[in-house]
Amino acid sequence: MADGQPCRTEATDANIERAGALIREGRLVAFPTETVYGLGADATDDDAVAAIFAAKGRPHFNPLIVHLAEPTQAERYVHMTEAGRLLARAFWPGGLTLVLPRRMDSTVSLLASAGLDTIAIRVPAHDVAHRLLVAADRPVAAPSANRSGSVTATTAAHVVESFGIEVALVLDGGPCRIGLESTVVDVTGDIPILLRPGAITAEALMAVAGHLAAPEGLGGPLRSPGMLERHYAPSKPPRLNAVKAEAGETLLAFGTNAPKGALNLSPSGDLREAAANLFAMLRALDQPSSGRIAVMSIPEEGLGRAINDRLRRAATPAVDTNRERR
Ligand code: TXA
Ligand code: MG
């Protein structure tokens, strides 16, 4: 973590404008929502999204929620489904996050959705959040503004305590009204699936949708085992710690010692750049016609831990035990 504390300012018009400009420049801005404070960055900027993961200090990549100013903007990034439309009409703006199929032409960073074919969308019902989203003029990826393993931040002071100057600005909008994260519901199919209980109750969702599937332990049948642990992985398990490509392989390189001509996660060996490129490059190399991917070794430090976590899961899909949802 960087030294010092992030700058905390009152959420005045001028400061919200400034925060919006910082987001467009690829910087991190913490902001209040009605649920909890979010640590936001331009969702279309891979490098800015990588900076969120670096600041969170999480040893793996969780998909992030993409925040929009208006419900109508969702269709720019995802395909709206019947179930999604129904719930959005009832609960947006508000504490409901909808997981929807990603559009092929979506400009949202693949790192923001951890390489998945879906994107989690939320339209917050908080004046400061709304004005910031308008000022940023971008979809804003934002996890809860706490460092990995610490309690969720519901005041600007919590955020200031948790982060350093890697966060450019903390917009202070007072304590969060709800203080509990949004409810996450997968609406990619006909039956909505409760992925994370939160601000909007299951009863309220049921009343609108008519039905709701919930994972075990949340009071309902599990539609597909392992649903909570869905991860992107290339179709063929990659070979790790490769030095060069063997016959039939394609090399995904890293660093300065890489063979010339290979696709390189970061030719200079910068882990943030590598994180920003990871999912897009894996997808580019994962073609039916190409062989398996051989990945050069990545240092096990900082964002390298999250990159290696993902690569190891892809290499040995059977031992996927990531159960963390927050
Ligand atoms: O209230 C909230 O939801 C706050 C505020 C800032 O909006 N945000 C928040 O984000 O709690 P985060 O990153 O801490 O939690 C996001 C949750 C995680 O459980 C993640 O797994 C899930 O949403 N999620 C995000 N994208 C997903 C996707 N494409 N498919 C399934 N789950 C997804
Ligand atoms: Mg969280």
Give me the chain's average pLDDT, please.
91
Q: Estimate to the nearest angstrom the gap between the alpha carbon of 255 and the chain centroid.
A: 25
Tens-place pLDDT, residues 14-39:
999 999 999 999 999 999 999 999 99
- 138 phi and psi angles, rounded to 5 deg: -145, 155
Tens-place pLDDT, residues 209-222:
999 998 655 555 44
Give the Å distance between the CA of 326 and the centre of ligand 1: 7
Give the Å distance between the CA of 246 and the centre of ligand 1: 39
Q: Which ligand places an atom closest to the C-alpha of 35?
A: 1
Q: Is 234 in the pocket of ligand 1 (CB under 6 A)?
A: no
pLDDT at res. 4: 87
Q: CATH 3.90.870.10 occupies which residues in the chain?
A: 7-217
Q: Is 154 in the pocket of ligand 1 (CB under 6 A)?
A: no
43 or 286, which is more confident: 43
Longest dimension (CA), the chain: 60
Sheet with 239-242: strands ordered across: 239-242, 293-296, 250-253, 263-264
pLDDT category of residue 289 using cuts at 50, 70 and 90: confident
Nearest to 167 by CA among 296, 293, 38: 38
% of the chain beyond a pLDDT of 70: 91
Q: Which ligand places an atom closest to the C-alpha of 324?
A: 1
pLDDT at res. 3: 66
pLDDT at res. 317: 66
pLDDT at res. 223: 41
* Residue whose token pair is 């300012």: 9
Tens-place pLDDT, residues 77-114:
999 999 999 999 999 999 999 999 999 999 999 999 99
Q: Is 65 in the pocket of ligand 1 (CB under 6 A)?
A: yes
Tens-place pLDDT, residues 190-200:
999 999 999 99
Kindly report the pTM of this predicted structure.
Answer: 0.90
d(CA 170, CA 27): 12
pLDDT category of residue 231 using cuts at 50, 70 and 90: confident
Q: Looking at the predicted structure, is the pLDDT value of residue 280 above 70? A: yes
Give the Å distance between the CA of 181 and the centre of ligand 1: 8
pLDDT category of residue 188 using cuts at 50, 70 and 90: very high
Q: Which CATH class is domain 7-217?
A: alpha beta
Q: CATH 3.40.50.11030 occupies which residues in the chain?
A: 239-325
d(CA 197, CA 218): 8
Q: Is 33 in the pocket of ligand 1 (CB under 6 A)?
A: yes
d(CA 63, CA 56): 13
Using H for helix, E for strand and C for coil, what is the string for the chain? Answer: CCCCCCCEEECCHHHHHHHHHHHHCCCCEEECCCCCCEEEEECCCHHHHHHHHHHHCCCCCCCCEEECCCHHHHHHCECCCHHHHHHHHHHCCCCEEEEEEECCCCCCCCCCCCCCCEEEEECCCCHHHHHHHHHHCCCEECCECCCCCCCCCCCHHHHHHHCCCCCCEEEECCCCCCCCCCEEEECCCCCCEEEECCCCCHHHHHHHHCCCECCCCCCCCCCCCCHHHCCCCCCCCCEEEECCCCCCCEEEECCCCCCCCCEECCCCCCHHHHHHHHHHHHHHHCCCCCCCEEEECCCCCCHHHHHHHHHHHHHCHHHCCCCCCC
- Which CATH code for domain 239-325? 3.40.50.11030
